[in-house]
Chain A
Amino acid sequence: MKKILVTFCFLILASIATFAQGSGGVEMATELRSSGKIYVVVAVLATIFIGLAFYLFFIDNRLKKIEKLQK
């Protein structure tokens, strides 16, 4: 009897835990954001992109020179 009661309680508690995750508890990276480290990722991505953008400008200028020579 006691065993059944304990299992029953356990099942009820387990189901409460699953309900808790139902609506409000969507997992988001709020912890990561509050510790501020996400800015590091933004900085890295921005650096990569700026680097590539400069590279595109570099190619653009080289082409301009060739086009001038051609004329």
Chain B
Amino acid sequence: MNKSWWKILAIVLVLFSITGGLLFPVPAKPILNESIRNIHFHVPMWFAMIVMLLVSFIYSIKYLNKGDENDDLMAVESANVGIIFGLLGLVTGMVWAKYTWGEPWSNDPKQNSSAIALLIYMAYMVLRNSMEEEQKRGKISSVYNVFAFPIMIVLLFVLPRMTDSLHPGNGGNPGFNTNDMAPELRPVFYPACLGWILIASWITTLRYRIRKQENLIS
């Protein structure tokens, strides 16, 4: 993971999404207008968060299996970066919502549940910091983390579908969805998601390595 090709790829992909996202033609929709371009910047934040939390989940299971302290460190740091990207997603979403839905927080089911999901992960950090002994802290917080991930998935992808949501693609069966994303958005949207996921992974590895050095010193 120390090789730099994927870091350069991450930068290239995000740069492409900045230029393509602002310049390429987009579908003209009322209310949304040009703000439809936000999809290349707001949504990838959430994708990056979900992938980082998935990494955290996997490393927590690994830690519970083998008890390697480094796995626990990786789980914490990826959850940390996931929370940062989640907060960015929340704030950018609120700016976007202010100018399309009328107010930054309209108690939309997806807005509410994503805020709850973030609080669950913040509680993970509080739980960790409340314990002194390393093994105890690692085990208890890993078990918490293993439960937090499925709850986050349910909050973000299942519950908003049960009711009507302002977010597109919610409510009803996704299998029969005719209002999918417009095809002209996809060539920019997918690279943007991949690019931001890689950037988030990069920051995670940096934080993980710093943490490891700190542990070696103390």
Size bracket, chain B contacts: 20 to 34
Main secondary structure of the interface of B (DSSP, over half): helix
Inter-subunit contact B206/A56 (CB<8 Å): yes
| A70/B216 contact (C-beta < 8 A), A28-B33, A29-B34, A53-B11 known | yes
Number of A-B contacts (CB under 8 A): 52
Q: Take A26-B29, A28-B34 as given contacts and tell me if A63 and B18 are in contact as well, using a CB distance cutoff of 8 Å.
A: no
Say if the beta carbon of A57 comes within 8 Å of chain B: yes
Q: Which of B18, B29, B213, B216 contacts A46 (CB 8 A)?
A: B18
A8 to B216, CA, bound (A): 84
On chain A, which size bracket covers the interface?
A: 20 to 34
Q: At the interface, yes or no: B158 with Cβ under 8 Å from chain A?
A: no
Chain A residues contacting B122 (CB-CB under 8 Å) are none
Contact of B18 among A42, A56, A59, A60 (CB under 8 A): A42
Q: 21 A-B residue contacts at CB 8 Å?
A: A26-B33, A27-B33, A28-B33, A33-B23, A38-B23, A39-B23, A42-B23, A46-B15, A46-B18, A46-B19, A49-B11, A56-B202, A57-B4, A59-B206, A60-B206, A63-B213, A64-B2, A66-B213, A67-B213, A70-B213, A70-B216
